[in-house]
Amino acid sequence: MRIHPYKIMILFLLFLPALCHGAAIAAEPPECVVLLHGLTRTEKSLSTLEGHLKNNGYCVVNLGYPSRKKPIQELSVMAIPAAIEQCRAHDAGRIHFVTHSMGGILVRYYLEHNDVPDLGRIVMLSPPNKGSEAVDKLKDTAVFKWLNGPAGDQLGSGPDSLPKSLGPAGFEVGIITGDRTVNPILSLLIPGKDDGKVSIESARLQGMKDFLVVHRTHPFIMNDETVLKQVTYFLKNGVFHRDAASPHGLKAD
């Protein structure tokens, strides 16, 4: 029986989207982003960032961890391997990390002691890479210990600072930090410009690929529209986007 050519064309057009979709999946494995929140926060604090990354085509693992209960070394090996396995369960071709505050120190500690062959790029938001002078002043108080737990004690800038004991970046990392504060009293304990908890200088890391300062505060930097766009831009390009005309006060430092 002869099939009319126009029927063949209709069948081809019906199946073309599925065939193209399948080919795209085969040719381009999904990229996964692991999100790690900061001290005393939960995965809910990164929900806006999670939605932004998903809308940009990434598979996202937003894994909470008990930041107040254990030291950084234990938190790192508790959270990160489990998140990596979730990414690999999705057949991810590359595994990126986006962190807030202490989450960046967890990643630094883990990568200093473990190899991740499929590691992509990392974006750190307001990381205390050289510790925080505010911790130096407050860590011996009962309120600080109750609120921040053993990991909080490790985030100072003195000789016992865990962040300062770690080496330079041996991976592609871009850092975004803020220069606005919601806690002027706490900022008095921090030399130089800061975001209310971490100074701009302390956020820097030797070996970083790019560094950006925005007019945002430590607790809410991860929800800012400009920061969200900069995160995905770095994941794709390995640098931040520079726009001198930005209405958000974006600037290179």
Q: What is the CATH number of the domain that holds 173?
A: 3.40.50.1820
**What is the domain count for the chain?**
1
SS3 (DSSP) at 133: helix
Q: Does residue 4 have a pLDDT over 90?
A: no
Q: Tell me, yes or no, whether 14 lies in a domain.
A: no
Sign of CA dihedral 77, 160, 219, 227: negative
Chain-centre distance for alpha carbon 250: 19
- Distance between CA atoms of 31 and 22, rounded to whole angstroms? 16
pLDDT at position 179:
96
123 in any annotated domain: yes
In a domain, 210, yes or no: yes
CA distance 94 to 116: 10
Please check whether residue 4 lies inside any domain of the structure.
no
Domain extent at residue 37 = 29-252
The structure's pTM equals 0.85
The pair of three-digit structure tokens given for residue 4, joined into one six-digit string:
């009319």
* pLDDT surpasses 70 at 1: no
Whole-Å CA distances, 84 to 107, 128, 170: 12, 23, 18
Nearest to 206 by CA among 134, 130, 148, 98: 130
pLDDT of residue 2: 57
Per the domain annotation, does 130 fall within a domain? yes
